């Protein structure tokens, strides 16, 4: 399995990061994508990638829309220039290279959050990151929450289909699956598909085309049943996998192989390819 979205670099894992990753490996997780939250955390993220590259940790560098109101002035300056953003990303990646292999496989986490302030700056940063992804020829990891009326418009204008990417912890429901599919994006699902009465994400997970389906934890958030209410971690992705497999009427092992293959196709810079477990 690959956990296509987890935040192993943040303080929630500071005391037991190695143990968390060991538990993930024991559970059959052979790859973990860790997207960035803000520029100031990129160096620490690179250190995590370098230390745990052998466990399948790969990264994306970007700016999370929910952090936009908290950004320092030197971080927001990256919104003014695609070239500056690309240069900062390339430098962060170079610092994390181990044995000649780059850990960077995407740009992100980027996007729009309707519950977060400063929508204009959110959009400006989103556009810069989409343009940087095209310039660097990397896919994007996209967060969209309560902004499905606006995000597809921006992504269409910024030609996201040229690089593709992942709708992380997809919240748009079944009706919007064709919209994001036609933008060239895959769909990743987290713990909410295991929640009782959570019809919208599970309904979407059922109708997503086979070749666009991914799984994640969004650790430390969105812990699945039976861990709901606690800190999530990559080992818990097995519960998300089981819920989606049951809903789609396939064996978990079959879905695990499918989602690994999909993740590697959507993120072609991922090397070496994780084994299927």
pLDDT tens figures, 40-79: 999 999 999 999 999 999 999 999 999 999 999 999 998 8
Looking at the DSSP bridge assignments, the partners of residue 187 are 167, 213
Looking at the DSSP bridge assignments, the partners of residue 270 are none
Give the dihedral of Cα atoms 277, 217, 219, 179; nearest 10 deg: 130
Kindly state whether residue 125 falls inside one of the protein's structural domains. yes
Contacts of 245 (CB under 8 A, 6+ apart): 251, 252, 254, 255
Q: How many CB atoms lie within 10 A of CB 231?
A: 14
Kindly state whether residue 274 falls inside one of the protein's structural domains. no
Kindly state whether residue 95 falls inside one of the protein's structural domains. yes
The stretch 121-138 carries a mean pLDDT of 98
pLDDT tens figures, 100-126: 789 999 999 999 999 999 999 999 999
Domain count, the chain: 1
Give whole-number Cα distances, 244 to 188, 215, 250, in Å. 11, 9, 9
Please give the pLDDT value at position 276: 67
Kindly state whether residue 194 falls inside one of the protein's structural domains. yes
Kindly state whether residue 63 falls inside one of the protein's structural domains. yes
CB 59, CB 98: distance < 8 Å: no
Kindly state whether residue 101 falls inside one of the protein's structural domains. yes
Quick check: pTM over 0.75? Answer: yes
CATH code, domain carrying 20 = 3.20.20.140
Looking at the DSSP bridge assignments, the partners of residue 144 are 112
Domain range for 206 is 2-266
Kindly state whether residue 10 falls inside one of the protein's structural domains. yes
Kindly state whether residue 158 falls inside one of the protein's structural domains. yes
The stretch 201-223 carries a mean pLDDT of 97
- The angle subtended at Cα 8 by Cα 7 and Cα 10, nearest 5°, is 75
Using pLDDT thresholds of 50, 70 and 90, give the confidence band for residue 273: confident
């Amino acid at each position: 399995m690959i956990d296509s979205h987890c935040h192993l670099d943040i303080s929630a894992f500071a005391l037991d990061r190695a143990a968390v990753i060991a538990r993930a490996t024991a559970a059959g997780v052979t790859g973990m994508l860790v997207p960035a939250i803000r520029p100031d955390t990129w160096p620490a993220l690179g250190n995590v990638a370098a230390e745990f590259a052998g466990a399948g940790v790969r990264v994306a560098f970007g700016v999370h829309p929910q952090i936009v109101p908290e950004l320092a002035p030197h971080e927001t300056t990256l919104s003014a220039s695609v070239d500056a953003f690309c240069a900062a990303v390339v430098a962060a990646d170079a610092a994390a290279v181990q044995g000649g292999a780059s850990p960077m496989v995407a740009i992100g986490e980027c996007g729009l959050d309707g519950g977060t302030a400063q929508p204009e700056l959110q959009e400006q940063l989103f556009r810069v990151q989409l343009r940087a992804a095209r310039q660097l020829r990397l896919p994007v990891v996209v967060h969209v929450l309560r902004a499905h009326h606006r995000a597809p418009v921006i992504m269409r204008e910024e030609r996201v289909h040229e690089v593709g990417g992942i709708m992380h912890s997809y919240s748009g429901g079944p009706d919007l699956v064709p919209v994001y599919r036609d933008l060239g994006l895959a769909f990743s699902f987290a713990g909410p598909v295991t929640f009782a009465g959570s019809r919208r994400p599970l309904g979407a997970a059922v109708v997503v085309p086979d070749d666009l389906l991914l799984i994640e934890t969004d650790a430390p958030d969105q812990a699945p049943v039976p861990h709901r209410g606690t800190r999530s971690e990559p080992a818990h992705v097995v519960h998300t996998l089981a819920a989606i497999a049951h809903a789609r009427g396939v064996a978990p092992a079959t879905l695990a192989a499918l989602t690994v293959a999909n993740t590697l196709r959507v993120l072609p810079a991922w090397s070496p390819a994780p084994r299927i477990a």
